[in-house]
Amino acid sequence: MRRFALVLLLVFSASSARGGDIFVNNVSGDDRNTGLSDSAAKGSDGPTSTIAKALRIARKGDRIILANTGVPYKESISLQGGDNSGWDFAPFVLQGNGAVLDGTAVIPIEAWKFVRNDIYCFAPTYKQYQQLYLNGKPAKRVVLESRDELDKLEPMTWDLVDGIIFFRSEQDVDPGNYRLSYTAQRTGITLYEVRHVQILDLTVQGFQLDGINAHSNCYNTQLVSITSRGNGRSGVSVGGASKVTIARSLLGDNATVQLRGEGFSKTTVLDCTLLENTAPATFHQDARIEIDRQEVTDAQAAQTAQTLRRIPRPDAPASALQR
């Protein structure tokens, strides 16, 4: 009888351990809501408006479900500790449904300063890594050694020199005539000391440092059907002793490297595309990166990993951001 009662207790505990759903909608939601329903008609039980609020009220094993409203979520979010973790049988899930998490901000017209010969400059808050966006897509970059080479900029190109963005417009056209934005927020998604986490079907773009950063001690973390593009340093960075799997995802148009590993971390890449159109596919400092069961060595990633290939999905884009 005691054994039967113990079995019932274990079954009940496993069932109750599975988390609930929290709904987020950045158009119709309200952060005063509980997020228990995806419908704004449910009043205070309707969706929250920000992912950050959903993460604050989440508990272990919960699932956060984003509405893809067509409007980017303009947030920088963090998953940290036990409340943002799961179990092996019930992971903590951030379900993107194809939504976009975007870290860019429009450059105010008055922030541009004239330099010379249709060249203008802008001083961003974060100066080490940057991206300049033109009409919602990364602008063409020309790498300069110093300010003495500014005249090498062609019209509609840019570079970051001494922490300053220099942009050359078309002849006699003020930069205020273009839709120019920069990477204003630091990191799209930061993970720290989490277990059993899945991030699914989400685009992360336009952040100053990394699209996704598994900072330290992130175990059994899975990034599936992720597009991380147009970020100032990398699409995905994995550090510390973290163990991360990236599957059926696309990393491209990131400024320094597409996939970055450091510390004692291990990153397993399965069935992904790492575009080398703007930067090397991988960089690893003491870390392990394994791509389609082949470990990346100290040789150049382009020769070792051979990662430039199409994702076998009919809806996969040909490149990270069409220019």
Q: How far apart are the first and last CA of the chain?
A: 69
5-35: per-residue pLDDT in tens?
Answer: 544 444 444 445 568 999 999 999 999 999 9
Residue 318 pLDDT > 80: no
Going by pLDDT thresholds of 50, 70 and 90, the confidence category of residue 285 is confident
Q: What is the reported pLDDT for 18?
A: 64
Going by pLDDT thresholds of 50, 70 and 90, the confidence category of residue 320 is very low
Instruction: Specify the pairing of strand 234-238 against strand 257-262.
Output: parallel
Q: Quote the pTM value.
A: 0.87
- Asked if 27 and 71 count as a contact pair (C-beta separation under 8 A), the reply is yes
151-167: per-residue pLDDT in tens?
Answer: 999 999 999 999 999 99
For the chain, the C-alpha Rg in angstroms (whole number) is 22
Longest pairwise C-alpha distance within the chain: 88
Q: Residues 249, 101, 214, CA angle at the centre, nearest 5°?
A: 60
189-220: per-residue pLDDT in tens?
Answer: 999 999 999 999 999 999 999 999 999 999 99
Residues of the chain with pLDDT > 70, as a percent, come to: 86
